[in-house]
């Protein structure tokens, strides 16, 4: 009996993190799938490739039409939508102040002169 306790404990130590991470991953995948299925026309989204767009048509089950510029509509797989973008008017005042501070710091930044390759 004592000889079985150590192997069982080792298996438990190895198996428990694997089981917990699998459950967490399944939960995240379910949330992602729910978000992709709940997209409606007019939602702002970001694709997995980093493209920001507005949902133009979400009537198909597998694809979604995204307007990437005025009058430019492209068709994407729903799985390519990474996240829904929250409109900026829902952002707190503190976030706006920090964004203004960051913009001011960027405006005051010094730009380095261009590198001159090939000159000796």
Give pLDDT tens digits for 67-112: 999 999 999 999 999 999 987 665 555 555 666 666 666 566 666 6
Give pLDDT tens digits for 100-110: 666 666 566 66
Residue 34 has pLDDT above 80, yes or no: yes
Mean pLDDT of 49-72: 93
pTM greater than 0.85 (yes/no): no
Residue 8 has pLDDT above 80, yes or no: yes
Q: CA-to-CA distance for 107 and 115, rounded, in angstroms?
A: 22
Whether the Cβ atoms of residue 45 and residue 39 lie closer than 8 Å to each other: yes
Question: Which has the closest alpha carbon to 77: 97, 49, 119, 98?
Answer: 49
Asked, for residue 100, whether it belongs to a domain, the answer is no
Asked, for residue 20, whether it belongs to a domain, the answer is yes
Q: How confident is the model at residue 64 (pLDDT cuts 50, 70, 90)?
A: very high
Please work out, in degrees rounded to the nearest 5, the angle formed at the alpha carbon of residue 55 by the alpha carbons of 51 and 57.
135
HSE, CB side, 13 Å, CA atoms: give it for residue 14: 6
Q: What are the residue ranges of helices labelled H in the chain?
A: 2-37, 93-107
Res 86: pLDDT: 84
CATH number where 22 lies:
2.30.30
76 CB-near residues (< 8 Å, 6+ apart): 47, 63, 64, 65, 66
Structural domain boundaries, residue 37: 8-87
Number of domains in the chain: 1
């Amino acid at each position: 009996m004592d000889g079985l306790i150590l192997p069982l404990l080792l298996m438990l130590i190895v198996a428990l993190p694997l089981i917990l991470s699998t459950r967490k991953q399944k939960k995240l995948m379910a949330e992602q799938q729910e978000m992709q299925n709940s997209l409606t026309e007019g939602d702002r989204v970001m694709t997995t490739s980093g493209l920001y767009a507005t949902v133009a048509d979400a009537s198909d089950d597998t694809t979604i039409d995204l307007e990437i510029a005025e009058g430019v509509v492209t068709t994407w797989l729903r799985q390519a939508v990474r996240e829904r973008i929250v409109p900026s008017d829902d952002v707190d005042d503190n976030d706006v102040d920090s964004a203004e501070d960051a913009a001011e710091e960027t405006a005051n930044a010094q730009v380095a002169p261009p590198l001159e390759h090939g000159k000796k």
